[in-house]
Amino acid sequence: MNFVIDTSLCSGHGRCYTLAPEWFDADDIGYGQVKDAPVPDGERARTADIVAACPEGAISVKEG
Residues that bind ligand SF4 (CB under 6 A): 5, 10-16, 31-32, 54, 56, 58-59
Question: At its nearest, how many Å lie between ligand SF4 and the CB of residue 57?
Answer: 8
Question: At its nearest, how many Å lie between ligand SF4 and the CB of residue 14?
Answer: 5
Question: How far, in Å, CA of 61 to CA of 64, rounded?
Answer: 10
Torsion, Cα of 25, 15, 18, 5 (10° steps):
-20
* 33 vs 43 by CB, closer to ligand SF4: 33
* 29 vs 45 by CB, closer to ligand SF4: 29
Q: Are 24 and 34 in contact (CB under 8 A)?
A: yes
